[in-house]
Amino acid sequence: MIHTLTLNPAIDQMVLLEEFLPGDANRIMESRTDPGGKGINVSRALQELGCESVALGFAAGTRGRFVEAALKERGIYTDFMRIPGKTRTNITIIDQKHNTTTTLNEPGPHTDPHHMANLTRRLHKHLSAGDWLVIGGSVPPGLSTDVYGGIIQMANEMGVRCVLDTEGPPFRSAIGARPYMVKPNQAEVERLLGHLPKSKDPMLDAADRIHALGVEIVVLSQGARGAIMVTSQGAWRAYPPALAASNTVGTGDAMVAGMVQVLSHGGSPEEALRLGSAAGAAAALTVGTQPCRPADVVRLLPRVQVHPVPRTPAKHRAAEPVGV
């Protein structure tokens, strides 16, 4: 079973404008509201890909109940812990004329550590050996930035494979707990390492350095330029098809969903990278916070190019450790 954990869920509100005019009145062409947060987005994308998951996390106040109800209405199983406060609202403003996306993100409700302890016990009851746990998004105020590391350590001891998709201090703190898979983008990698390696292929070398920390699958996403993946089995580059679309909302979450679906069913990392790339590209064709559409994924899958990257074993062994 695949589980997703979202400690800081959101109500994602998307507004589409012909042109965003700061300091002026703006007429909305289209709007929609969806349950959001990285883990939740992965659960939504998994459902579109025909794969079940259990969504867990915190649900604060009436907004949190909206998130729960919206997921249940879509047929996604949930087990959120209700806490005081208000689940945050994130606003995405899409400027059609200039093809730009602006996001306004609230910090989320203050969360007491004893609520985290209760949620951890609930998560422990759900997990079994062989399961997958996707941990994603920001840490709400009140919780330590090392909270993900403790969850990963618990899951590892249970034989659960963890996928981590976060950034900043939570990412840096959790990487030492050895999640099974991570999917940072270039900016997140630079923040983790301090800088990209100075070499002919800095992204490959950066992936090698993270892999050397004990992360089995390292996927570095580069948006429309594709992604590079390093595992103990080898390294690959994926090139998604060129699309006349630039919606980046949820593309990384769709990529994680596609990869986890394949890996959880025994597929190879190369197959996972291919489906993940197709799902991410399909998400770029939707408007705002909508998940990828199955028909788009099927249509784009044959157009994704995945090539092995030649590299010597010595290069991997020489990867410089990261001081985390």
Tell me which DSSP letter residue 166 carries: -
Query: According to the model, what pLDDT value does residue 248 have?
Result: 78
User: Per-residue pLDDT tens for 89-98?
Assistant: 999 999 989 8
Residues paired with residue 13 on neighbouring β-strands, in sequence order: 33, 91
Residue 253: active-site member: yes
Query: Is pLDDT at 201 greater than 90 in this prediction?
Result: no
Helix or strand holding residue 231 (H, E): strand 227-231
| Predicted local distance difference test score (pLDDT) of residue 186 | 86
Question: Of 104, 99, 105, 106, nearest to 16 (Cα)?
Answer: 99
Q: Is the distance from CB of 228 to CB of 309 less than 8 angstroms? A: yes
Q: Are 172 and 142 in contact (CB under 8 A)?
A: no
Q: Residues 70-91: what's their mean pLDDT?
A: 96
Question: What's the average model confidence in pLDDT over 51-55?
Answer: 97
Q: pLDDT higher for 38 or 310?
A: 38
Query: In the chain, what are the domains?
Result: 2-21+29-317 (3.40.1190.20)
Exactly one of 34, 165, 253, 296 is catalytic; which is it? 253
- In this prediction the pTM is 0.92
Is 294 within 8 Å of 271 (Cβ atoms)?
no
Whether the per-residue pLDDT at 321 is higher than 50: the answer is no
User: How many CB atoms are closer than 10 A to CB 112?
Assistant: 14
221 pLDDT more than 60: yes
- Average pLDDT estimate for 254-265: 97
The dihedral sign for the CA sequence 35, 41, 42, 44: positive
pLDDT of 319 over the 50 cut: no
Higher pLDDT, 195 or 210: 210
- pLDDT above 70 for 213: yes
Provide the pLDDT for residue 313. 52
Q: How confident is the model at residue 194 (pLDDT cuts 50, 70, 90)?
A: confident
Work out the number of other CB atoms within 10 angstroms of the CB of residue 198: 7
Q: Which residue has the higher pLDDT, 46 or 195?
A: 46
Q: Which of 200, 206, 209 is closest to 221 using CA atoms?
A: 206
Asked if residue 187 has pLDDT above 90, the reply is no
Whether residue 277 contacts residue 238, with contact meaning beta carbons closer than 8 Å, is answered with yes
